[in-house]
Amino acid sequence: MIPRDASAALLALARRYPVVSLTGPRQSGKTTLCRAVFPAHPYVSLEPLDVRAFAREDPRGFLAQHQNGAIIDEVQRVPELLAYLQADVDERPDPGRFILTGSQELAIGATVAQSLAGRVGRLELHPCSWAELQRFTNAPSELFEVLWTGGYPRILDRSIPASQWLADYVSTYVQRDVRQLLNVTNLDAFTNFVRLCAGSTATTVHLTRLGADAGVSHPTVRAWLSVLEASYLIRQLPAWHPHPRKRVVRAAKLHLVDSGLCCYLLGIREPEQLRSHPLRGAIFESWVAMEVMKQGAHRGAPYALSHYREEGGLEVDLVVGDLPAPLLTEVKSGATVASDFVDGVRAVAERLALRDANTRSATRVVYGGTASQRRGETEIVPWNRVDRVWWG
């Protein structure tokens, strides 16, 4: 297993809290990370039916077998166990006793917040970042190959063809996780909806349009988007506005968390197809946005991420932070820096400065080339150095 950037944050939380919750999408490496960081902890998975039944029917007996603590995997299978865990750690609040993992935020998030408030440190683990991918001996090095492969660690760890592994992943997710989170009677319709989301990556969310394309109602679209986000397959970045009251009325921007999964859902079966694909720029933008998200999440200090768009068309792909010093970031997939790459972020920075002289916006462009540059006050970052610059 390669070293994961989240290891330090995971250890830090275990020194402060009796319970640590590590959540993230299936197959992002949660179990492997926990067992590597806490080798002395017994490991128990709630996936097997008999173990799950034991934990549900006799929670006190289950916890009595792990008085010195344990890694409890797939805790969303028995969320009611957390109420008994609260009483247990109140009696013995030793730091780092229990490490919980889960892959469904809807199933465990509210329960953790209610049952273990003040007793649990929370961390998210996502598919490998670009910095982590480079630690594999067979890591891709070209941009299109990186986008097409994505970041799920097993693809590189086991040298499995990405399209083959992702096909199994989608099938397993739809057949198992969706059935647990929603009463979806038409799995084909939901699968089609997931593909429509992939085709809408890096665009603002229009519920009516998505519903019309998928053939489902407006409330169903909202519910299905919530399930995809709770399963860590998509991330919706809110709109940013210098006046906070105006942010809530603007549409969020949808991003597929993993570019490889996005490519698979779009039917892109070879990296070279990305060269001329009409959604190449959108896939690249989502990749950059999610790389920034991973950097903060894996450090245990998530960044405030949003996007900016005016009715007149002026927009910024990614806003990191908030006033008085937001980082305005434009993303361009082209390998050559064009003069208009910096126009949008410069224009927005100037407008913000005119509104408030105390605003000091930084501007940055991430592009598909490999040379670092500066254009006036704007930093030009090549795609393969997105992990080398500070975003927080």
Distance of CA 154 to the CA centre of its chain: 17
What's the chain's length in residues?
392
Residue-level pLDDT at 111:
66
Phi/psi at 210 (5° precision):
-60, -40
How far, in Å, CA of 158 to CA of 146, rounded? Answer: 16
Range with the poorest average pLDDT among 67-81, 106-120, 160-174: 106-120
pLDDT digits (tens, 9 = 90+) for 191-246: 899 999 999 999 999 999 999 999 999 899 998 999 899 889 999 999 998 876 66
User: Which tokens hold the place of 216?
Assistant: 């489902």
285: which residues sit within 8 A by CB, 6+ positions away?
201, 202, 255, 317, 318, 331, 333
pLDDT digits (tens, 9 = 90+) for 282-333: 999 999 999 999 999 999 999 999 999 987 788 999 999 998 999 999 999 9
pLDDT class of 125 with cuts at 50, 70, 90: very high
Residue-level pLDDT at 344:
94
String of DSSP letters for 174-235: IIIIHHHHS--S-HHHHHHHHHHHHHTTTEE--HHHHHHHHT--HHHHHHHHHHHHHTTSEE
The pLDDT of residue 248 is above 50: no
The pLDDT of residue 105 is above 70: no
pLDDT digits (tens, 9 = 90+) for 142-198: 999 999 999 999 999 999 999 999 999 998 877 677 766 777 777 788 889 999 999
pTM of the model: 0.94
How far, in Å, CA of 288 to CA of 134, rounded? Answer: 16
The pLDDT of residue 107 is above 60: no
Residue-level pLDDT at 120:
92
Average pLDDT, the chain: 92
pLDDT digits (tens, 9 = 90+) for 255-279: 999 999 999 999 999 999 999 999 9
Burial (CB < 10 A; 0-12, 13-18, 19+), residue 390, is exposed
Question: Is-contact 257 105, C-beta < 8 A?
Answer: no
Nearest residue to 24 via CA among 152, 176, 165: 152
How far, in Å, CA of 118 to CA of 112, rounded? Answer: 10
Question: Is-contact 344 316, C-beta < 8 A?
Answer: yes
184: which residues sit within 8 A by CB, 6+ positions away?
178, 190
Residue-level pLDDT at 312:
78
**Omega of the bond leading into 326 within 30 degrees of 0 (cis):** no
**What domains does the chain contain, in order, with CATH numbers?**
7-124 (3.40.50.300), 130-235+256-278 (no CATH)
Residue-level pLDDT at 109:
63
Residue-level pLDDT at 227:
87
Across 224-304, the runs of DSSP E, i.e. the strands, are 234-237, 253-256
Phi/psi at 62 (5° precision):
-60, -50
The pLDDT of residue 10 is above 50: yes
Nearest residue to 96 via CA among 120, 125, 66, 62: 120
Question: Is-contact 216 205, C-beta < 8 A?
Answer: no
Residue-level pLDDT at 88:
94
Indicate the helix (H) or strand (E) that contains 133. Answer: helix 130-133
Residue-level pLDDT at 110:
62
Question: Is-contact 382 272, C-beta < 8 A?
Answer: no
For residues 289 and 83, which has the higher predicted lDDT (pLDDT)?
Answer: 289
pLDDT digits (tens, 9 = 90+) for 132-151: 999 999 999 999 999 999 99
